[in-house]
Structure 1
Amino acid sequence: MASSIAEEIAHDFSPFIRVYKDGRVERFFGNDVVPPSINPDTGVQSKDVVIDPETGLSARLYIPKIPNPRHKLPLLVYFHGGGFCIETAFSPMYHNYLNSLATEGNAVIVSVEYRRAPEHPLPIAYNDSWAAVKWVASHSSAGGGEVWLKEYVDFDRVFFAGDSAGGNIAHNMAIRVGSDGLDGVKIVGMVLIHPYFGGKDPIGSEGDGAATDKFWLFVYPSSSGSDDPLFNPVVDPKFSSVVCDKVLVCVAEKDFLKDRGWYYKEELGRSGWEGVVEIMEVAGEDHVFHLIKPTCENAAAMLKRVACFLNENNA
């Protein structure tokens, strides 16, 4: 009997994740990890830090080759994707991408390792991410103890970024800074790559939206539903309080989330928010193609666009 229960499926979101009625979680990919390193090609160094020993919240830090403490660098706080439930900050494809972005953008990067659903359902990932943001900000004064942040970061040039679910988190962190405040740092900009948003009323190529709604409630069972402002940001009364001055939204032509990205861009532009929002659509590509095919021409072009975004208008 026990073995029969163990094989009964409670939630099946193949080919990504499956949960059995006995609580066992089966992730079909995104389980591989790589250690921090010194990249032999770029000279980018990385290391792992524990932010909160009680929860296990941690991050991987990246610094470009031989930074000069007298020339402070922009800081990118990055939130990985994976539907809030797969992949990690230590996955090979994120490690490789952020190595490339650190050198191309000449930036320090903090890649946040938040706890994942379903073992840790939302809003835990949001709470972990906010704790990481506050930890980063603590280094603008005497409070923080991480040397790489204290020595090399210009806290007047801080950015949030993420892909897919990580793009969702990045937006919500910018909203939270706008409402709660964050001493000692200036959030200059935000990069949302193929952001995972939804809504009760489907738009564009989303179909009836049933699958998206079901997955959102899987990772956030206590959510109010698809028009939860955490998932459908344009219904949020605080939407126009996005804290940064500029936003870059990246979408891909074949991605089912493309129309949500465009919708976000258009609605933010007319929300009363006083910043500048841009969009980059890549033809012929699908969701997070830049992670899956990092050496392709389109991935290289998008990497350069993000790197330029981190450095434009800065002397």
Structure 2
Amino acid sequence: MSSWPTPAASAVPGSAAAPHVVEDCFGVVQLLSDGTVRRSTDYSVLPLVGGVPPDLPVEWKDIVYDDTHGLRLRMYRPTTTAGGGEKNKLPVLVYFHGGGFCLASFEVINFHAGALRLAAEIPALVLSADYRLAPEHRLPAALDDAESAFSWLRAQAAASPAADPWLAESADFGRVFVSGDSAGGNISHHISVRHGSGRLPLGPLRLAGCVMLWPYFGGEAPTPSEAASPPGEPMGTALFDQMWRLALPPGATKDHPAANPFAPGSVPLGDLGDTFPPVLVLDPDQDALHDRVADYVARLRAAGKAVELVVFPGQGHAFFVREPCGEGSDELIRVIRRFVHGG
């Protein structure tokens, strides 16, 4: 299991008239009683075990993909294939970071380290994208931002050549994958659904697959693994519930379609067309979300969708983020490489 710090409990309102903290998430995000938010950019409370992988042959740069909201992504390219011609074009992995829709950025060292490994070892052109965070920007803001990232990429592909030289030289727009961990896995589901339902046309891009790392789904009825999560578990049900309170629209329950893909108002899986991509789901068996993820996979299969589930024994939520160079992460890279290049 991970050793992430336990989130502070909601503060008890005092008698003073001054605004008080009602939600405190790792000390990074605090929601006050008057609705204002305090946010820190210090993510040192989030551990990185093993450090950043050294000397990987990868270059990167930051790009603004949404001028309206000032949203950026970081593009990673293996230097071993740069400028290598058509036969060396790389699949494109659009990656959305985790953090319960409330925390983090592609700049956080944990996500940077993971993206370096994905780019070098899959290999792939990795686009690690930021999105607006809650509670300042509650759902569906993050989902809409992810759609904007794909619209930007579609416009790049439609240009001849692509406006960005790295994309023009290295991107295989016929092999684009949406991916992400935790909240990013949730985003990956919703992008796949929006594309499969016809809401998000992507041509000339081809969405070749969806890679979900322990997707962050919710629901009002607890699953057995959620109910068994100890109250003090750092990456357990208590934290996930707090993040849903911060991320969902005011007054919404965890059966909101942004959290529960099978809640009323969600697009039925059976209504999704052939453009809904093949799915790879990576599931740590010590994750409080383990049963919810298993149910999601079962429902995809029942709807006739192509889905592969790979369970990681003994691992907890966000193990790739916490220890991107660990043995479990080595296997995770191998599984994703096989799916991207051979699936």
TM range (shorter): 0.7 to 0.9
Q: TM-score, normalised by structure 2?
A: 0.81
Shift of 1:79: 0.5
Partner of residue 337, structure 2 = 307
The 5 Å alignment of 1:3-82 reads: 8-14=20-26, 17-21=29-33, 23-27=36-40, 30=43, 41-67=55-81, 68-71=84-87, 72-82=89-99
Letter in structure 1 aligned against 2:23: H
Shift of 1:46: 0.5
Letter in structure 2 aligned against 1:169: I
Shift of 1:49: 0.3
Shift of 1:168: 0.3
Letter in structure 2 aligned against 1:121: R
CA contact (8 A) 2:140 2:258 kept: no
Partner of residue 119, structure 2 = 102
The 5 Å alignment of 1:1-315 reads: 8-14=20-26, 17-21=29-33, 23-27=36-40, 30=43, 41-67=55-81, 68-71=84-87, 72-142=89-159, 145-179=163-197, 180=199, 181-207=201-227, 212-213=240-241, 215-222=243-250, 224-235=252-263, 236-240=266-270, 241=272, 243-273=275-305, 276-313=306-343
- Counterparts of 2:44 and 2:164 in 1: how far apart (Å)? 28
Which one is further off, 163-172 or 237-246?
Answer: 237-246
Superimposed CA distance per residue, residues 266-290 of structure 1 (whole angstroms, 9 cap, x where no aligned partner): 11000133xx211111111111111
**Relative contact order, CA 8 A, sep 6+: which one is greater?**
2
* Structure 2 gap ranges (5+): 1-15, 46-52, 229-236
Taking a change above 3 Å as real, the CA distance of residues 303 and 224 of structure 1, as seen in their structure-2 partners, is: same
Taking a change above 3 Å as real, the CA distance of residues 61 and 142 of structure 1, as seen in their structure-2 partners, is: same
Shift of 1:7: 6.0
Alignment length (residue pairs): 303
CA contact (8 A) 1:6 1:20 kept: no
- Counterparts of 2:146 and 2:132 in 1: how far apart (Å)? 9
Which one is further off, 161-170 or 148-157?
Answer: 148-157
CA contact (8 A) 1:62 1:98 kept: yes
- Counterparts of 2:309 and 2:140 in 1: how far apart (Å)? 28
Q: Secondary structure at the match of 2:262?
A: helix
Taking a change above 3 Å as real, the CA distance of residues 5 and 152 of structure 1, as seen in their structure-2 partners, is: farther
Q: TM-score, normalised by structure 1?
A: 0.88
* Structure 1 gap ranges (5+): 33-38
Taking a change above 3 Å as real, the CA distance of residues 29 and 81 of structure 1, as seen in their structure-2 partners, is: farther
Taking a change above 3 Å as real, the CA distance of residues 161 and 136 of structure 1, as seen in their structure-2 partners, is: same
Taking a change above 3 Å as real, the CA distance of residues 53 and 217 of structure 1, as seen in their structure-2 partners, is: same
- Counterparts of 2:27 and 2:188 in 1: how far apart (Å)? 25
- Counterparts of 1:140 and 1:28 in 2: how far apart (Å)? 34
- Counterparts of 1:31 and 1:126 in 2: how far apart (Å)? 27
Q: Secondary structure at the match of 1:11?
A: strand
Partner of residue 36, structure 1 = none
Superimposed CA distance per residue, residues 182-201 of structure 1 (whole angstroms, 9 cap, x where no aligned partner): 22111111111011001122
Shift of 1:142: 1.4
CA contact (8 A) 1:59 1:110 kept: yes
- Counterparts of 1:175 and 1:223 in 2: how far apart (Å)? 25
CA contact (8 A) 1:57 1:113 kept: yes
Letter in structure 2 aligned against 1:254: Q
Counting aligned pairs with the same residue, the percent is 34
